[in-house]
Structures are given as structure tokens and as C-alpha cells.
Structure 1
Amino acid sequence: MIYPFYFERDSLLHGLDPRVKILGTVAGIAAIMLYNDPVFLIPLFFMTLIAVRVLGKIEIREQLRLLKPLIPIVIITLIIWPLIYKPRPQGLLFGVSFSMRLLTFALLTFMLLMTTTQRDLILGFVRLGMPYEFGLTISIALRYIPTLYMLTGNIMDAQKSRGWEVEKGNFLVRMKRMSAVLIPLLVASLKTAHELSIALESRALGATKKRTFLYDIEMTGRDYAATAVILILFGLALYVRYGLGLGHVSIYG
């Protein structure tokens, strides 16, 4: 299933410059890395959920829907830690810690994607110093993921109409039968890539080092204020961790 990331809303987060949101996401992930105590990580996860709901107007159920694919990883983490760490209650504690850290990482990343259009996101990275070619590559990749997903479904439906069966047989047999889908998909992908390269060359991509933009972004007073708040919160996280010595539990004794 292809999950839609961007949600059209009239909110504070949607109105911020993408560079501010990129900075906030990086700072948030760095701050979460400082802690491994579930007493801190569990409240931080729920605080992030509420912050996205209030500042981004994204419903909590919509946020949880995006986190749903991570549930198997969370379950595996909760099972493995008690097995590899003794005493087991302490291992379970660390399993909860790393699960909460993973979910918060994902939620912060989804916050950026849910409140920023693809165009603004790539432009934000370019304005932060990323080469334009890299930004264009990421943009094209994001653009064609849903296209390739639908193309895969169409190929599978066409092959099934010809009597193709992938559900029967063991794992190796199924993998062999998947060639009936992978080969047409690869051919279609190469054809699309070739046509795309011709289109880019016809528009003189790379002819000049300096590019102009039809649409540009500009920092405003609200963006600078948000940046200041992000830096203050990150400084507070550093103070709590290293100044007060809270939020970290030694794994190795």
C-alpha cells in the first residue's frame, strides 16, 4: 500500500519555511538520541504526537496510520531485548526504550513529510547546500514510486488473466514465478528512465552551473522565531541530559 504523506492543512507547521522544518527534524532526532530511559522517551513520543496535532492540524489517527508499518519491528525489538539482556525485566525496559526511540524518529520524519510539499522539501535541501542534481534525483524518485507501484499492480493483473499463479508452491517456486512481473517492470522502468533523460536534455539540464527558480522560498520573522525556539529546546535537552544527568540508563553497567 502506498501511504500519502502530505496533508493539505492551514497550520503553523505548513506555513513555516522548509529549512526550518528540516532543522527541527534533525534537532529533534539528535535530541532523542541523547536519551534511552523510557521514563523520558514515552512522554516525548506522546508530546510529539500532540505537537503535530496542535501545530500541524494532523489527526492523531492519521499519524498512527503512518506508523503502522513499524509495528513488526517494534514487536521484534520487544522480544529480542529480553532474550539478549539479563536480567530480563531490564532487557524488556530497554526494548521499550528503543521501540519508543524508533517510533519518535519516524514520527519526526513523517511530520516533515506531512507538512511540506515535495517541491518545497527539495528546494529547502537545495537552499541548504545540496546540489540541485541530487535534489532533482530525489524529487523524481519520490514522484515515480506511486507510478511504479500502480504499474506493478497492472502487470500482476495482466499475468493473472493469463493463468499466472504466485500463491502456490514454496518460497523458491514463488520467487521464480515473480520473474513474470519483474522482467516487464524492469523493461518499463528502463523505458521511462530513457524518456525522462531525453526530456531533461531537451530542457538543457546542466547547461549552466547557476540556476534560476520559478518558485523560491524566503525566511520571514516567523521562521526566525521558530528557529530560535528549536535551538532553545535543543539546548534544554542537552542541559537535562548532561547538566542534570537525567534520561540515560547505562546498558553495560
Structure 2
Amino acid sequence: MMFSLYLDRNSILHSLDPRVKIIGTAVFTTIGLMVKDPIYSPLIFVVTVIGLRILGKIEIKEQLKVLKPLIPVFVLTFISWPIIIDPWERGVLIGIAYTFRLMGITIMAFGLMMTTKQRDLIRGFTKLGLPYEIGLAVLIALRYVPTIYALAQNVMDAQKSRGLELEKGNFLERAKKMTAVIIPLLVLTIRTAHELAIAMESRAFGASRKRTYLVELKMKPIDYVALAIILGVALLYLGTRLLL
């Protein structure tokens, strides 16, 4: 069972060619990786969230919902820097920069999947020259995070209905109780991967090296405008970075 992040909306981002969105995500992700400032990193995250809200008509709470499974990763990223950097005040600033940078990159990737259908996204990868198998593997890997989170929530709800109190007790007691969640989750994860493999084999995945596609992608005027804006922002950033 794989959960889809796609949200069907009538928006500018939804109407764009998937190739444009893939290129835009790659460009803005690269810019996000290059920014290490504790002020600009949160700014990029906020601008990304607002951009998805305005251009993609995706509510902010819907965006934050997909980030929820990764909260432990964000928290660990933040608290680790003050510990390893001296003085700790500088570590806090670095932690803020790297945490928001990670959050920004993550929401960009999820935003791509929330505004693009799976078949269109894979087709976009293949039209850009990426082999179909690699494009499918990348998409499955990105979709596995919300899938595992949803499975974990189902297992926790099932265990709570049987009387398991996961929230009570000290840290060690709660960690011990989590074994009742982790073991079934591992079983469900392996089963999901197995069912996915069976589904792919039943559809003769990889039987023919030459694939045919039901829908062909065609660039529209708005796609060329969006691509020009993306490249313009990239050149502006690179020019500003070289001058400074």
C-alpha cells in the first residue's frame, strides 16, 4: 500500500509541464544547499511555503502535515550543532541555518509530488533523459516517507485500541513500549515492498526496453515563461554570489 501525496487542485503549478517543475525543483534545491545563513535559510523556507500556497493552492497545514514524519530529523539536526560547535551560540545559529535548509529542500521535493501526478512525473524524468527505471525508483523512494508514517500511525492506533499506553511512563518505559510498534511496522514495510514488487512483475515491468506512453508532454507558453523565470532567478543568485 503506497500513499500518494498528489493533491488535485486548479492552480498554476498543477498546470505546468512536469519537466519545468523538475528543473525548478532542482535549481531551487541547489540554491537552498548553497545558502548557509541563519537568516536566509528560514526566509527560503517561508518563501517556498508561501509560493506553494499561492501558486499551488496547497494549504499551509497540508504542507506542514507532510513534514511531520521528519520532525525528529529536524530536531536532531538543530540540537546536534550546539553540541559539536564551540561556542554554543554559534552552534545554535548554524543549527537554525541547517535545519531550515533541510526543511526547505524537503518541502520543495514534496511540493513537486503534491502538484504533479505520478505518471506525469515519471514521464517528465524520462523526457529529460533519465532512464524510466531510475525515475520510478526516485519517485518510490520519495513516496516511501509518508507511506511509512501512515503505516506507523495505523499500527499505533491498533496497539492503543488494545490498551497499550504509549504516552505514559518515563523515556525508557516508552522506548520499551515502542517495540510493539516497530516490529509490526517492519513486517508491514517488508510486505509493502513485496506487494509492490509483485505488482510491477504482474505488469511486466522491464520486459521491453522500448516503452510506449499514453500521454505525450507538450510545452505551453506558460511553461516557457516559468522556465525563463527559473533560469533568471538562478542567474541572479549566481551573479549576486560572485559579486559578494
What band does the TM-score fall into relative to the shorter chain?
0.7 to 0.9
Q: Which moved more, 1:57-66 or 1:127-136?
A: 127-136
Question: For the residues of structure 2 that align with 1:22 and 1:79, how far apart are their CA atoms?
Answer: 32
Question: For the residues of structure 2 that align with 1:213 and 1:31, how far apart are their CA atoms?
Answer: 33
Matched residues, number: 235
The answer for the alignment partner of 2:203 in structure 1 is 200
Structure 2 CA distance for partners of 1:80 and 1:138, relative to 1, 3 Å: closer
The answer to whether 1:134 aligns with 2:134 is yes
Are the equivalent residues in 2 in contact too, given 1:3–1:66 (CA < 8 A)?
A: no
Structure 2 CA distance for partners of 1:238 and 1:209, relative to 1, 3 Å: same
Structure 2 CA distance for partners of 1:207 and 1:231, relative to 1, 3 Å: same
State the TM-score, normalizing by the size of structure 1. 0.74
The answer to whether 1:14 aligns with 2:14 is yes
What are the within-5 Å matches in structure 2 for residues 32-47 of structure 1?
A: 32-47=32-47
Question: For the residues of structure 1 that align with 2:103 and 2:121, how far apart are their CA atoms?
Answer: 22
The answer to whether 1:211 aligns with 2:224 is no
Question: For the residues of structure 1 that align with 2:200 and 2:216, how far apart are their CA atoms?
Answer: 25
Are the equivalent residues in 2 in contact too, given 1:48–1:104 (CA < 8 A)?
A: yes
Question: For the residues of structure 2 that align with 1:26 and 1:104, how far apart are their CA atoms?
Answer: 12
Report the alpha carbon displacement of residue 88 of structure 1 after superposing the two structures with TM.
Answer: 1.6
The answer for the alignment partner of 2:52 in structure 1 is 52
Let me know the Cα RMSD of the aligned residues. 3.8
State the TM-score, normalizing by the size of structure 2. 0.77
The answer for the alignment partner of 1:86 in structure 2 is 86
- Structure 2 gap segments, 5+ residues each: 167-171
The answer for the alignment partner of 1:103 in structure 2 is 103
When Rg is computed on C-alpha atoms for both structures, the one with the higher figure is 1
The answer for the alignment partner of 1:251 in structure 2 is none
- Structure 1 gap segments, 5+ residues each: 246-253
Are the equivalent residues in 1 in contact too, given 2:3–2:147 (CA < 8 A)?
A: no
Report the alpha carbon displacement of residue 99 of structure 1 after superposing the two structures with TM.
Answer: 0.8
Q: Deviations over 1:138-174 (max 9, x none)?
A: 667759x859x76x969x96x999x9x9x8x987898
